């Protein structure tokens, strides 16, 4: 089930919200847990048991860490719990990838393709599970005595399948005791509408343009078309993922939870390091706290710092998908992050315009590698973008993949990715928030979003595959 579906908007959400609102507070966690399991089982009727198994294992590991009598025993239980979590993730997400590498090296099918179905959102709920037992081990939080509370933390449907990745210490008190207010419901509903419109009215339109271009034979792609595809995907993935995060945060507030922000206008960044402080904030924070810092961070000299950064960005790429394209994309970002530490950042700081243009172009080229069906195709797209004169004899008609609506949405996407927020004075922005005009605007975009959902079958979520 996806947020931008009729079944969710017109049936699941209204029923769950109303029942949760009217029932006694002490039954809310159990009810939301059941609703979350139904939400996940809607698309994964059998794989939901994998998540339930993960919940049971991590709950027990948390209790065993607490009861362990020595540091060594606590560490052993932590290693065992993390190993099991990664074993599940590795089998379902990376086993087929490893088999393809082995068969590729051998030049024949030594191992049959396992054809394993990837559970939706497994990377997200696995990282949350690891966060829980890691925080119990370090003493950041106490192990919960309620399996229902741990289960709700791992499976809470607003952020279950595409984040944000929430740490247990950020939400455990809310799970145990929270208050639903009318003002919180209003803010949450408004945030959900904004996120829904991002996804349905902007991302889907740009996505159709991108998919149309990538379906062409690469030999027919000229520089103009390659740039349009790259820019369209750059904004598609932003509005897709930030839109989902907005919906998750809004839904959370409607149920009394405060889910951390996940985006802060990343395309306004002046460096790759800054980009990763603004893009998918919860993932960057997770890797910093549970990988980068335990490896030594920047406390053991420059060489060790660079090695740690390479490891983190390698894992970041691998987390996004079992394919060399994602690994290369991650290392590509790591390369520029290290380059900035070596002195490039000082040069970029001399000009805000140059630094922002640099970062946007680096990120844009990176998204080409991320989106392309394979690394070679991505490199061929980039070659057309960087060397337009080599393909000047190709002249693909823009009208084949872009119409007036797409151009208009393109402009809206560009303005809404940070430019508008920077240009509008704070006083005007404050007057807009909570005003009658904003309420009317929300009603309009909600109606347009629902109309688009009912009229179109094209409704992918990019980050569901992760």
pLDDT in tens, 329-345: 999 999 999 999 999 88
138 inside domain: yes
Write phi, then psi, for 232 (nearest 5 degrees).
Answer: -65, -40
Domain edge (last residue) among 121, 145, 178: 178
The residues that are catalytic are 320
pLDDT given for residue 319 in this prediction: 93
222 inside domain: yes
Burial pattern 276-309, b for ≥16 Cβ within 10 A else e, equals: bebbbbbbbbbbebbebeebeeeeeeeeebbebb
Please give the Cα distance from 246 to 193 (Å, whole number): 9
**174 shares its domain with 250:** no
How does residue 274 score in pLDDT terms, banded at 50, 70 and 90? Answer: very high
Contact 308, 299 (CB under 8 A): no
- Over residues 85-120, the pLDDT tens digits come to 999 999 999 998 899 889 888 888 888 888 888 888
pLDDT given for residue 127 in this prediction: 93
315 inside domain: yes
1 inside domain: no
How does residue 279 score in pLDDT terms, banded at 50, 70 and 90? Answer: very high
Please give the Cα distance from 425 to 443 (Å, whole number): 24
Mean of the pLDDT values across residues 302-318?
Answer: 94
How does residue 464 score in pLDDT terms, banded at 50, 70 and 90? Answer: low
**322 shares its domain with 398:** no
Give residue 335's domain range: 268-364+372-387
Domain edge (last residue) among 387, 422, 449: 387
SS3 track for the chain: CCCCCHHHHHHHHHHHHHHHHHCCHHHHHHHHHHHHHHHHHHHCCCCHHHHHHHHHHHHHHHHHHHHCCCHHHHHHHHHHHHHHHHHHHHHHHHHHHHHHHHHHHHCCCCCCCCCCCCCCCHHHHHHHHHHHHHHHHHCCCCCCCCHHHHHHHHHCHHHCCCCCCCCHHHHHHHHHCCCCCHHHHHHHHHHHHHHHHHHHHHHHHHHHHHHHHHCCCHHHCCHHHHHHHHHHHHHHHHHHHHHHHHHHHHHHHHCCCCCCCCCCCHHHCCCHHHHHHHCCHHHHHHHHHHHHCCCCCCCCCHHHHHHHHHHHHHHHHHHHCCCHHHHHHHHHHHHHHHHHHHHHHHHHCCCHHHHHHHHHHHHHHHHHHHHCCCHHHHHHHHHHHHCHHHHCCCCCCHHHCCCHHHHHHHHHHHHHHHHHHHHCCHHHHHHHCCCHHHHHHHHHHHHHHHHHHHHCCCCCCHHHHC
How does residue 461 score in pLDDT terms, banded at 50, 70 and 90? Answer: low
Mean of the pLDDT values across residues 129-137?
Answer: 94
**163 shares its domain with 196:** no
Mean of the pLDDT values across residues 17-23?
Answer: 94
Mean of the pLDDT values across residues 362-369?
Answer: 96
How does residue 83 score in pLDDT terms, banded at 50, 70 and 90? Answer: very high
**397 shares its domain with 332:** no
User: 423: which 2 tokens?
Assistant: 């240009």
- Over residues 139-181, the pLDDT tens digits come to 999 999 999 999 999 999 998 888 799 999 999 999 999 989 9
The count of structural domains within the chain is 3
Kindly tell me if the per-residue pLDDT of 46 is higher than 90.
no
How does residue 466 score in pLDDT terms, banded at 50, 70 and 90? Answer: low
Contact 409, 206 (CB under 8 A): yes
pLDDT given for residue 330 in this prediction: 95
How does residue 263 score in pLDDT terms, banded at 50, 70 and 90? Answer: very high
* CA dihedral for 457, 459, 464, 466, sign (positive or negative): positive
User: 374: which 2 tokens?
Assistant: 């394979």
Q: Phi-psi bin for 68: left (phi > 0), alpha (psi -120 to 50), beta?
A: beta
Lowest mean pLDDT among 54-63, 118-127, 272-281: 118-127
* Dihedral angle over CA of 287, 202, 245, 277, nearest 10: 40
Measured N-to-C along each axis, helices 352-371 and 324-339 cross at an angle, to the nearest 10 degrees, of 160
Would you give the distance in Å from CA 243 to the centre of its chain? 10
**47 shares its domain with 151:** yes
**29 shares its domain with 47:** yes
Instruction: Report the mean per-residue pLDDT for the chain.
Output: 91
Domain edge (last residue) among 147, 178, 209: 178
Contact 202, 244 (CB under 8 A): no
**137 shares its domain with 259:** no
**18 shares its domain with 131:** yes
* Burial (CB count within 10 angstroms: exposed 0-12, middle 13-18, buried 19+), residue 113: exposed
**173 shares its domain with 127:** yes
**106 shares its domain with 149:** yes
Kindly tell me if the per-residue pLDDT of 387 is higher than 90.
no
Kindly tell me if the per-residue pLDDT of 237 is higher than 90.
yes
Write phi, then psi, for 133 (nearest 5 degrees).
Answer: -70, -30
pLDDT given for residue 395 in this prediction: 74
Supply the pTM of this predicted model.
0.92
Kindly tell me if the per-residue pLDDT of 457 is higher than 80.
no
Kindly tell me if the per-residue pLDDT of 419 is higher than 90.
no
Instruction: Give the percent of the chain with pLDDT over 70.
Output: 97
User: 217: which 2 tokens?
Assistant: 């034979």
Mean of the pLDDT values across residues 319-327?
Answer: 90
**204 shares its domain with 136:** no
Contact 156, 194 (CB under 8 A): no
22 inside domain: yes
Residues 6+ apart with CB under 8 A from 141: 132, 135, 168, 169, 172
pLDDT given for residue 465 in this prediction: 60
**174 shares its domain with 184:** no
How does residue 388 score in pLDDT terms, banded at 50, 70 and 90? Answer: confident
Please give the Cα distance from 275 to 336 (Å, whole number): 11
- Over residues 343-356, the pLDDT tens digits come to 988 999 899 999 99
How does residue 389 score in pLDDT terms, banded at 50, 70 and 90? Answer: confident
User: 186: which 2 tokens?
Assistant: 């209003």
Kindly tell me if the per-residue pLDDT of 184 is higher than 90.
yes
CB atoms within 10 A of CB 91: 14
Contact 249, 164 (CB under 8 A): yes
């Amino acid at each position: 089930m996806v947020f931008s579906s009729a079944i969710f908007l017109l049936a699941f959400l209204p029923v769950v919200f109303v029942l949760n609102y009217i029932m006694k507070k002490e039954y809310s966690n159990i009810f939301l847990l059941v609703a979350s399991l139904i939400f996940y089982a809607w698309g994964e009727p059998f794989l939901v048991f994998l998540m339930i198994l993960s919940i049971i294992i991590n709950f027990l590991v948390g209790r065993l860490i607490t009861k362990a009598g020595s540091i060594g025993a606590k560490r052993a239980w932590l290693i065992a719990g993390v190993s099991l979590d990664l074993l599940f993730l590795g089998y379902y997400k990376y086993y087929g990838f490893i088999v393809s590498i082995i068969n590729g090296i051998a030049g024949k099918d030594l191992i049959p393709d396992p054809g394993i179905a990837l559970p939706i959102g497994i990377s997200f709920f696995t990282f949350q599970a690891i966060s829980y037992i890691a925080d119990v081990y370090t003493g950041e939080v106490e192990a919960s005595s309620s399996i229902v509370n741990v289960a709700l933390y791992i499976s809470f449907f607003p952020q279950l399948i595409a984040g944000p990745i929430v740490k247990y210490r950020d939400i455990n008190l809310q799970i145990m005791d929270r208050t639903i207010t009318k003002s919180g419901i209003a803010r949450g509903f408004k945030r959900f509408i904004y996120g829904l419109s991002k996804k349905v009215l902007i991302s889907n339109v740009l996505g159709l343009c991108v998919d149309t271009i990538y379906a062409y034979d690469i030999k027919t792609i000229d520089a103009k078309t390659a740039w349009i595809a790259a820019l369209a995907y750059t904004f598609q993935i932003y509005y897709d993922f930030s839109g989902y995060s907005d919906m998750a945060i809004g839904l959370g507030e409607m149920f009394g939870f405060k889910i951390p922000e996940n985006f802060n206008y990343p395309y306004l960044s002046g460096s790759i390091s800054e980009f990763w402080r603004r893009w998918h904030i919860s993932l960057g924070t997770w890797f910093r706290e549970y990988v980068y810092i335990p490896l030594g961070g920047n406390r053991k000299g420059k060489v060790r710092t660079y090695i740690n950064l390479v490891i983190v960005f390698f894992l970041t790429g691998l987390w996004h998908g079992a394919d060399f394209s994602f690994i290369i994309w991650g290392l590509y970002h790591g390369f520029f992050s290290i380059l900035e530490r070596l002195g490039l950042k000082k040069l970029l700081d001399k000009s805000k315009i140059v630094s922002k243009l640099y970062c946007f172009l680096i990120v844009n080229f990176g998204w080409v590698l991320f989106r392309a069906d394979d690394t070679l195709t991505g490199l061929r797209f980039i070659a057309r973008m960087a060397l337009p004169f080599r393909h000047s004899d190709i002249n693909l008609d823009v009208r084949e993949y872009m119409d007036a609506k797409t151009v208009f949405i393109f402009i809206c996407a560009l303005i809404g990715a940070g430019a508008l927020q920077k240009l509008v004075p704070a006083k005007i922005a404050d007057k807009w928030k909570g005003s009658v005009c904003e309420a009317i605007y929300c009603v309009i975009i909600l109606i347009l979003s629902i109309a688009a959902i009912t009229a179109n079958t094209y409704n992918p979520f990019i980050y569901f595959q992760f």
